[in-house]
Amino acid sequence: MRLPPYLLLAVPLLAVLAACTKQTPPTPRFPAIGQLQTFDRSFGAVVASDARIEKLTEGFTWSEGPAWVRNGGYLLFTDVPENKLYRWSEEAGLSVLLSPSGYTGPELPTLREAGANGLYAEPDGSVLLADSGTRILARLDPVTRKKTPLATAFEGHRFNSPNDVVRRNDGVVFFTDPPYGLKDLDQSPVKELRFNGVYRLDTDGSVHLLDDSLSFPNGIALSPDARTLYVSNSDPKRPIWMAYTLDAQGAVTGKRVFADASDLMAKDVPGLPDGMAVAADGTLFATGPGGVIVFDAAGKRLGRIATGEAVSNCAFGNDGHTLYMTSHAMLTRVRVKSLGLQFVR
């Protein structure tokens, strides 16, 4: 069968158009950085091998405390040394929500980090804020920008510099209090507590000390059943993650070392155990040496999400399958197969 002349001309043209379409994939909006490192083959069930680590924005001194506000569809995070709290969304990009985010008074020679640090977005859209500079735990209304103190002291002594915070479904709050906000850390003349604590704040406003033995308690997270509290210790001499068994009231009934990062420490591997995020299946995404280290619920290392810089904290956002990471001067993210715990509550 002979083709008409117009079809003979159309066939090669269509072939050229198809080839051009195939060879010109859309340019990604955000550049890819870093790499995924597999420690156990089950890592592929958590993060796809071809997942892109995206750099969303940069230019920060030390980005921290990411928290996804679900009823607003945006991410909040802090830059602690710069005393700023940022808002980021896919549509609007980056903007400053609060400056100063923490301490608002005249410059103090005893203050090392004036800004707010860790954040936790509550179901009603308000945000729990570990205010390192003001040395309090507070609640922030992102709309009015009003900050309400929740806890300011333990047994009459001011906190050191609250660092990170997590909330249980019933409103009970857990937080860490290392000395990072104070210029001379444990030797600071304004440090009123002889220890660096892990605390529980009950709904009646009472504060309870859960552990005073860690040198630098930092990141904090809860297991899906809220019966295990994870706390990172950001000490290069003892870089560990602790697991505390909790009773129904939130009191500690046992504790153990969940994981140890000593063998991952190296001069060319940035980062220490810091902030964490928990998936609905119990998988723990824990910042540490080299990036975000992924553990199963038993503490086995599955893999690492390496951005190339120290990662301070991480949080799930969007549909619950996007992990946002504050990575030194950058804000980054990666798609994961795990579903963030807060997205099933």
- Domain positions in the chain are 29-344
Q: Which candidate, 337, 327, 309, places its Cα nearest to that of 66? A: 327
Q: Mind telling me the catalytic residues?
A: 274
* Cβ–Cβ under 8 Å, residues 99 and 87: no
Question: Binding residue per annotation — 186?
Answer: yes
* Cβ–Cβ under 8 Å, residues 336 and 303: no
Distance, CA of 193 to chain centre: 26
Q: What are phi and psi of 196, to 5 degrees?
A: -115, 115
pLDDT at 117 over 80: yes
Question: Binding residue per annotation — 218?
Answer: yes
Residue 83 has a pLDDT of 98
Q: Which candidate, 187, 180, 208, places its Cα nearest to that of 65? A: 180
Burial class (CB in 10 A: 0-12, 13-18, 19+), 72: middle
What would the pLDDT profile of 329-345 be if each residue is shown by its tens digit?
999 999 999 999 999 96
What would the pLDDT profile of 103-115 be if each residue is shown by its tens digit?
999 999 999 999 9
What would the pLDDT profile of 65-100 be if each residue is shown by its tens digit?
999 999 999 999 999 999 999 999 999 999 999 999
Which helix or strand (DSSP H or E) is residue 129 part of? strand 127-131
Q: For the chain, what percent of residues have pLDDT higher than 70?
A: 92
Residue 335 has a pLDDT of 99
Question: Binding residue per annotation — 160?
Answer: no
Which class in CATH covers the domain with range 29-344?
A: mainly beta
Is there a cis peptide before residue 100, judged by omega within 30 degrees of 0?
Answer: yes
> What is the DSSP-derived secondary structure letter of residue 15?
H
pLDDT at 21 over 60: no
Determine the Cα angle at 324 with ends 319 and 326, to 5°: 160
